[in-house]
């Protein structure tokens, strides 16, 4: 569910007309709905009522501290993959004991920060990382709680660039080496084994891969306990997809996912940890943009908007689909046009969609790209010296800018010319 609807022929975010935000904040801009974030979190968390569970929101999906604070008030934990994300989660009020640290390339400095904060656990992805974590913990007179991220070699579908659970992916301990990795961890004085972690991918629209992964890890937990290890938690990661409006298979609702997890883990006696990101944030945000020009090409028409691939890279990076709608609804006798929707960046890859049928639009019209709350602002850049765009959080009839648009002068202040020039 998303709280972006037409009222009297005009698109609103909750009770705020998008046109008023465009007038005050400018375009392009990301607009988020508090009500959608809250609903999505509640629906997901409620699907695990009755079992011991931690919902650790995946910060990389949308890392703005206002979003993290919104979820912290609802009881969310955090899954972080860098020292910067750890700092964001703590500043936003997420307790350290609800934070798990994932990622294949943790540095000693990041480990120190996490150990100092007292996070819940590290999801360790390799033996070299395990050994460095042990050394770092011992140097601080601390014990690092860990779960190994194991790679179950489960194909989960979706784009190759967001697949993480196959043996050729860089993530996790190879399945055949899992028990020996736990054996080594048990011998290290700075390490405490507490669980098992698995994450098979993103934008998954079928429960079958999750079921296969849970069954495999369930058997591994039994073997690890037989080896003498204490396994208290099972982190199943995230990955549940969302509808983007491209008429592909609709992902299963969280209630079905939760019922499956409960059924398959009932006999394991573990705390379940979940790391949803896209499912919480994706449909809670839109990209608001303005038509700069309607250009008639030789064999197609181009809708040139003021947003670009540096603002939302998903279409260029993943061939991702986003619904596109005008802010002012088309009248009853509107004409349909076919457009390539493109941005101003000097690359042909700066294309949001090709041959999209839409109501006829004119220079200056406002449009929105839906389902942009996850991996939109978080992946944005200042390519072409285009300033990062504002992020705006709406709550009811109120809104606030939660990330300002820097000026070009602000960007240039971060650079300098050497004295020999």
Q: How far apart are alpha carbons 90 and 94 in whole angstroms?
A: 5
pLDDT the model gives residue 153: 80
Residues 6+ apart with CB under 8 A from 195: 121, 146, 147, 231, 232, 233, 234, 235, 270, 271, 273
One DSSP character per residue, 145-174 reads EEEEEEE------S-GGGB-SSTTSS-SEE
On the question of pLDDT at 93 being above 60, the answer is yes
pLDDT the model gives residue 247: 65
Catalytic choice (346, 409, 417, 421): 346
Q: What angle do CA 313, 100, 224 make, to 5 degrees?
A: 120
pLDDT the model gives residue 333: 83
Average pLDDT over residues 92-111: 97
Q: Do domains 4-31+283-413 and 103-274 have the same CATH topology?
A: no
pLDDT the model gives residue 45: 97
pLDDT the model gives residue 203: 85
pLDDT the model gives residue 297: 84
pLDDT the model gives residue 248: 64
pLDDT the model gives residue 204: 87
Residues 6+ apart with CB under 8 A from 218: 234, 264, 265, 268
On the question of pLDDT at 140 being above 50, the answer is yes
On the question of pLDDT at 157 being above 70, the answer is no
pLDDT tens string 277-316? 999 999 999 999 999 999 998 888 999 999 999 999 999 9
On the question of pLDDT at 169 being above 80, the answer is no
On the question of pLDDT at 166 being above 80, the answer is no
Domain residue spans of the chain: 4-31+283-413, 103-274
**Confidence band for 163, pLDDT divided at 50, 70 and 90:** very low
The topology (CATH level 3) of 103-274 is TIM Barrel (3.20.20)
pLDDT tens string 36-45? 999 999 999 9
β-pair partners for 167: none
pLDDT the model gives residue 30: 98
**Among 156-160, 192-196, 264-268, 336-340, whose mean pLDDT is lowest?**
156-160
Judge whether 346 counts as a catalytic residue. yes
**Among 237-251, 291-305, 317-331, whose mean pLDDT is lowest?**
237-251
Q: Measured between alpha carbons, how far is residue 125 from residues 7, 60, 61, 76, 173 in Å? A: 49, 18, 20, 24, 6
Say which DSSP state 240 is in. Answer: B
pLDDT the model gives residue 2: 78
Average pLDDT over residues 361-371: 97
Average pLDDT over residues 54-73: 98
On the question of pLDDT at 396 being above 80, the answer is yes
Percent of the chain with pLDDT over 70: 95
CATH architecture of the region 4-31+283-413: Beta Barrel (2.40)
Would you call 265 exposed, middle or buried from its count of C-beta atoms within 10 A (0-12, 13-18, 19+)?
buried
One DSSP character per residue, 181-237 reads HHHHHHT-TTEEEEEEE---BSSB--HHHHHHHHHHHHHHHHHHHHTT----EEEEE
pLDDT the model gives residue 168: 47
Cβ–Cβ under 8 Å, residues 293 and 363: yes
**Confidence band for 246, pLDDT divided at 50, 70 and 90:** confident
Average pLDDT over residues 228-239: 95
Which H helix or E strand runs over 257? Answer: helix 254-265
């Amino acid at each position: 569910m998303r709280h972006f609807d037409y009222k009297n022929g005009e698109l609103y975010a909750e009770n705020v007309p998008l046109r008023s935000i465009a007038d005050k904040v400018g375009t392009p801009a990301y607009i988020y709905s508090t009500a959608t974030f809250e609903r999505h979190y509640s629906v997901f968390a409620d699907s695990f009522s009755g079992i011991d569970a931690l919902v650790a929101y995946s910060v990389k999906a949308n890392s703005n501290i206002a979003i993290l604070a919104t979820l912290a008030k609802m009881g969310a934990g955090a899954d972080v993959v860098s020292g910067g994300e750890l700092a964001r989660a703590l500043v936003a009020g997420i307790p350290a004991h609800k934070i798990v640290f994932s990622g294949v390339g943790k540095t000693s400095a990041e480990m120190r920060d996490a150990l100092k904060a007292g996070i819940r656990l590290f999801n360790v992805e390799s033996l070299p990382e395990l050994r460095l974590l042990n050394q770092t913990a011992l140097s601080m007179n601390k014990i690092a709680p860990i779960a190994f991220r194991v790679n179950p070699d489960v194909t989960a579908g979706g784009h190759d660039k967001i697949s993480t659970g196959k043996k050729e992916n860089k993530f996790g301990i190879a399945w055949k080496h899992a028990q020996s990795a736990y054996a080594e961890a048990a011998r290290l004085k700075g390490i405490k084994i507490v669980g098992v972690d698995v994450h098979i991918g993103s934008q998954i629209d079928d429960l079958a891969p999750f079921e296969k992964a849970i069954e495999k890890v369930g058997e591994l937990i039994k073997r690890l306990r037989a080896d003498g290890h204490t396994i208290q938690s099972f982190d199943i990661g995230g990955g549940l997809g969302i509808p983007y409006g491209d008429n592909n298979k609709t992902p299963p609702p969280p209630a079905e996912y939760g019922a499956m997890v409960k059924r398959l883990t009932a006999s394991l006696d573990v705390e379940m940890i979940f790391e949803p990101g896209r499912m919480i944030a994706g449909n809670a945000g839109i990209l608001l943009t303005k038509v700069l020009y309607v250009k008639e090409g030789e064999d197609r028409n181009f809708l040139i908007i003021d947003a670009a691939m540096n603002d939302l890279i998903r279409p260029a990076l993943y061939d991702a689909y986003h619904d596109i709608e005008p802010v002012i609804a088309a009248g009853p006798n509107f004409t349909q046009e076919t457009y390539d929707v493109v941005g101003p960046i000097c690359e042909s890859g700066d294309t949001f969609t090709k041959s999209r049928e839409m109501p006829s639009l004119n220079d200056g019209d406002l449009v929105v790209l839906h389902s942009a709350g996850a991996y939109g602002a978080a992946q944005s850049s200042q390519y072409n010296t285009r300033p990062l765009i504002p992020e705006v959080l709406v709550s009811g009839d109120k809104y606030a800018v939660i990330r300002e648009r820097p000026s070009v002068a602000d960007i240039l202040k971060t650079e300098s010319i050497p004295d020999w020039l």
